[in-house]
Amino acid sequence: MINSKYFFQGFNCIKKFDSPAIALGTCFIAIGSLLKNLGFNIQESIFSTLLTYALPGSLVMAESLLVGASLINIFLAVWLVNARLYPMTVSLMPLLMHESQPKWKYYLSCHFIAVSAWLIMKNNYEVVNKKNRIDFWIGIGTATWCVAILGTIIGYYASDYLNKDMMIGLAIVNPVYFSCMMVGSMKNLQVSLSIILGAILGPLFFFMSPEWSILYGGFIAGTIAFFIGELNVK
């Protein structure tokens, strides 16, 4: 069973002043409004957030529906845009794995991998012993999931009062917050280099390939920063 003490300790992390919960909620307000404008009813909108959860995946799904894409194309588009969650999972799972915990907890918790929840966990995992980190993580994931669903509901019913510019502004709050948090985490050479190079290379690659600029910029910046950091250690 899930240890309720550590579950609620993780759940309550969204109340901290530096939590991305508010930023996440505002983004899903935009998602809720967008889904209503696409013709979704409230049940379908909530179900969409329950399943996709991560913001970029929800945006891609909504945009694909808007242009009349087929279900297979929507599936592939959402799958590809959420590929960024793979390295997050790889970096997070070693912090959570413990031989005493059942496997089903890890399978369950995979659905909670998203930028906001990942960021909260990475900033707080050291306060919990490794054995109970999975329960702590499930609490964090459940809390951010609830915030996303609540934001979707608010956005759905507030859509008549939100114009296009307001929706765009709400949608970019979380990426801006995440960028600020990344700057705040520049405490070693590798992290600092990856952020600085990514900020430089991303816009440069945009002029060559707008669709792939973020992927190219992030991959090359991260790779260069990793090897420079390794050389510096040696």
60: containing domain: 4-172
Cα–Cα distance, 126 to 85 (Å, whole number) = 22
Listed residue (95, 102, 88, 147) closest to 3, CA to CA? 102
CA-derived radius of gyration, the chain:
19
In this structure, the answer to whether residues 117 and 163 fall within a common structural domain is yes
Which residue, 128, 144, 172, sits at the end of a domain? 172
133 and 39 housed in the same domain: yes
Q: How far apart are CA 24 and CA 41, in angstroms?
A: 22
Distance separating the N- and C-terminal Cα atoms of the chain? 45
Structure tokens at 156: 């759905």
For residue 180, tell me if it sits in a domain: no
Residue 70 sits in the same domain as residue 157: yes
Residues 112 and 168 in one domain: yes
Find out whether 119 and 91 touch, Cβ atoms under 8 Å: no
CA distances from 21 to 18, 142, 211 (A): 9, 12, 29
Residues 153 and 195 in one domain: no
Are residues 90 and 117 part of one domain? yes
Same domain, 136 and 26: yes
In angstroms, what CA-CA distances link 13 with 8, 86, 109, 122? Answer: 9, 23, 17, 12
Q: Are residues 100 and 190 in the same domain?
A: no
Within a domain: residue 111?
A: yes
CB 198 within 8 A of CB 221: yes
Asked whether residue 181 is domain-assigned, the answer is: no
pTM of the predicted model over 0.85 = no
Return the amino acid letter for 32: G
Looking up tokens 């550590």 gives: 6
The pLDDT value given to residue 195: 80
- Quickly list H helices, 125-188: 133-158, 164-171, 173-184
Instruction: Give the pLDDT of residue 183.
Output: 64
Cβ partners under 8 Å of residue 49, min gap 6: 28, 31, 32, 58, 148, 149, 152
Helices (H) and strands (E) in the chain, counts: 13, 0
Contact (Cβ atoms closer than 8 angstroms) between residue 120 and residue 140: yes
The answer to whether residue 15 sits within a structural domain is yes
**Domains held by the chain: number:** 2
Per-residue pLDDT of the chain (234 residues; tens, 9 = 90+): 888 999 999 899 888 776 777 778 888 888 888 888 888 899 988 988 888 777 777 777 877 777 787 888 888 878 877 777 888 888 888 889 888 889 899 888 888 888 888 888 888 888 899 999 999 999 999 999 999 999 999 989 988 887 777 777 766 766 676 676 666 666 667 778 888 888 899 889 888 887 777 778 888 988 898 888 777 655
